[in-house]
């Protein structure tokens, strides 16, 4: 409780902190500036922790829990799950059907190819609130209507790009009704025009 891990590089010797057979709990701990790229959060629970400018890359947080945590800086290619998933989900202690994920502040985070899936409640978090981001609710209902609109676009190349992007999003958010996404994501293979126009359609179909 209240541990200070600021600037620490979490290499293999630190992994036992997150790999206990019984859930480890970190309360009000500081991970600011820490390199967590090689750490596996496992079934760890983080409460009121700070991750300002931490190096968070390729985290597969399939069974980790985050409550009232604050994030700032890049979060790259991470996956946060609202329900336990994968082999680790069969060995949780204590057992649970959902991952507690609420009250987290991502307003100063840079979400780079990072997704929140498997039933995470978006209205229980704080998200970036600028024109660079879109927040879409009722995603699957909207996407079906957007597809019908896109099919009527006259430019065949732009139409195909948008349809391919829809498939990409539907695959990524298969069990998620909400998403927060960068309006212009340079890592996607789709053109700026296709991304801008597609998000504009999402905003108007319902």
What phi, psi does 57 have (nearest 5°)? -135, 130
Closest CA to 111 of 86, 136, 90, 128: 128
User: Candidates 2.160.20, 3.30.2020, 2.60.40, 1.10.1580; correct CATH number of 1-129?
Assistant: 2.160.20
Provide the pLDDT confidence category of residue 93 given band limits of 50, 70 and 90.
Answer: confident
**Helix, strand, coil percent values for the chain (each to nearest 5):** 25, 25, 45
Percent of the chain with pLDDT over 70: 100
| Model confidence pLDDT, tens digit, residues 102-135 | 999 999 998 888 889 888 888 899 998 888 888 8
What does DSSP say about strands 60-61 and 45-47: parallel, antiparallel, or unpaired? unpaired
What phi, psi does 202 have (nearest 5°)? -60, -35
Using the structure block, give the residue that is written with the tokens 């800086």: 73
| Model confidence pLDDT, tens digit, residues 11-24 | 888 898 888 889 99
Closest CA to 34 of 15, 58, 9: 9
Least confident of 40-49, 66-75, 121-130: 121-130
pLDDT, position 44: 94
Structural domain boundaries in the chain? 1-129, 131-206
pLDDT, position 179: 84
Using the structure block, give the residue that is written with the tokens 């979400």: 111
pLDDT, position 131: 84
């Amino acid at each position: 409780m209240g541990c200070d891990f600021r600037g620490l590089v979490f290499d293999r010797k630190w992994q036992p902190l997150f790999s206990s057979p019984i859930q480890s709990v970190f309360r009000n701990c500081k991970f600011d500036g820490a390199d967590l790229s090689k750490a596996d959060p496992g079934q760890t629970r983080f409460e009121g922790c700070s991750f300002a400018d931490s190096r968070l890359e390729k985290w597969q947080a399939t069974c980790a829990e985050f409550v009232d945590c604050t994030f700032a800086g890049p979060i790259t290619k991470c996956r946060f799950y609202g329900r336990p998933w994968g082999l680790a989900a069969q060995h949780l202690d204590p057992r649970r059907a959902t991952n507690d994920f609420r009250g987290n502040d991502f307003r100063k985070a840079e979400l780079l190819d990072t997704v929140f899936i498997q039933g995470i409640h978006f209205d229980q978090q704080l998200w970036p609130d600028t024109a660079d981001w879109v927040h879409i609710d009722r995603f699957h209902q909207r996407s079906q209507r957007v597809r019908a609109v896109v099919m009527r676009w006259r430019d065949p190349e732009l139409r195909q790009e948008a349809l391919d992007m829809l498939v990409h999003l539907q695959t990524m958010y298969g069990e998620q009704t909400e998403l927060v996404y960068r309006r212009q994501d340079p890592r996607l293979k789709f053109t700026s025009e296709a991304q801008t126009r597609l998000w504009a359609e999402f905003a108007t179909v319902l």
